[in-house]
Amino acid sequence: MVIRALFFALLLSFLPQSFPGETADLKASENILSIEDLPPFGWETDANISPGNKDVEFDPYRAGFTLNYRDKALPYELFSVFVLPGDHLEFTLGEGEPDEILLASRDVAYRMQNGKSWVLYAPAETGIYNVDFIRVRNNDRIRVQLFVMVPHDEIRNGYLNGYRIGSYPTTPLNENPNYLPPRGFIEVTPENRHRRVSPHFTLGQFLCKQEGGFPKYVVLQERLLLQLEHILEEANNLGYNASTFHVMSGYRTPWYNQRIGNGRYSRHIYGDAADIFIDTGNGMMDDLNGDGVVDRKDAKILFDLVDQIQREADESYRQGGLGLYGPRPWRGPFIHVDGRGHYARWSLD
């Protein structure tokens, strides 16, 4: 630990803390520490992200400090943000956090506004880019992954690079801006589908179930990931051991959503909804109450937990819809969680 602290302290003495000016085409690799020089995170060596790892001790991978981004608090060692080419992204340290922070990246330019605020410049090319925020005093780190998306306006006749998207409603529901069409789409390939977007969830868990080869496209909102990580941590705290949730349905393209008969304003098409359950290996909800039967009562345990979390949340991005669904012959019970920004509750037997 002493050697690592000396290592980071030495780096701090040599590295500049900002770019001269605000141009986004500066070579980040010439101005910021390379991520390849850093030791791995704990989650990078943790293979226990798939369902079935019931006996593995859960680690929430919370960092020792917090970043704020678009009025959301990011407390985890790994988190993803979804942006368009050329976006300017402001990150600030949480209130009361120290200002001894280094940034490390290979491809992302930035400008320090003061000791606790940075503007990152999203690269012009679609892809995934890492930026590490490093607190030198004790080597705490937060890795922010920038997913630079394909812009929405590249859809042609309902298709994006051969993948069928369909069309979004042109008028938001009740003039709610959360129902505006997404700004862009994350490109998913065989190479990145298993990439973690947060400590306990991968990009591929949220893919639409429609047919079609790669590349595929998905919409994913930061507020959904924050909710799911919080719910998962609290479920483990209550003794319901799970390394992730089984995401039965995440993103749906408008075309697929219409095909299965769902409502045109379903939160699934906006990338902030997931149908989930706790599964430790058999593809069905676990017997959470231990009565020997997997039924609606097990899903109700998870429903009540999420309801409490959402009702106690002060931030609107942690509030949203919550649905309870009983079992069917072809599937088990589950709950629906979304980040629409206001309370909505329903139950279907």
Q: Where are the domains of the chain?
A: 2-148, 150-348
**41 residue type, one letter:** F
Q: What share of the chain is helix, strand, coil (3-state, %, to 5)?
A: 25, 30, 45
Exposure class string for 152-181: b at 16+ Cβ within 10 A, else e: beebeeeebeebbbbebeeeeeeeeebbeb
> Residue 20: what pLDDT?
31
Contacts (Cβ under 8 Å, ≥6 apart) of 329: none
**Where does the pLDDT of residue 35 fall: very low under 50, low under 70, confident under 90, or very high at 90 and above?**
low
pTM attached to this predicted model: 0.88
| DSSP-assigned beta bridge partners for residue 332 | none
Exposure class string for 332-348: b at 16+ Cβ within 10 A, else e: bbbbbbbbbbeeeeeee
Inter-residue contact 245 to 291 (CB < 8 Å):
no
- Rounded CA-CA distance 172/106 in Å is 39
Q: According to CATH, what is the number of the domain 150-348?
A: 3.30.1380
**Where does the pLDDT of residue 33 fall: very low under 50, low under 70, confident under 90, or very high at 90 and above?**
low
Residue 315 has pLDDT above 90, yes or no: no
> Residue 7: what pLDDT?
43
For the chain, the average pLDDT equals 87
State pLDDT tens for residues 135-194.
887 778 999 999 999 999 999 999 999 999 999 999 999 999 999 999 999 999 999 999
**78 residue type, one letter:** L
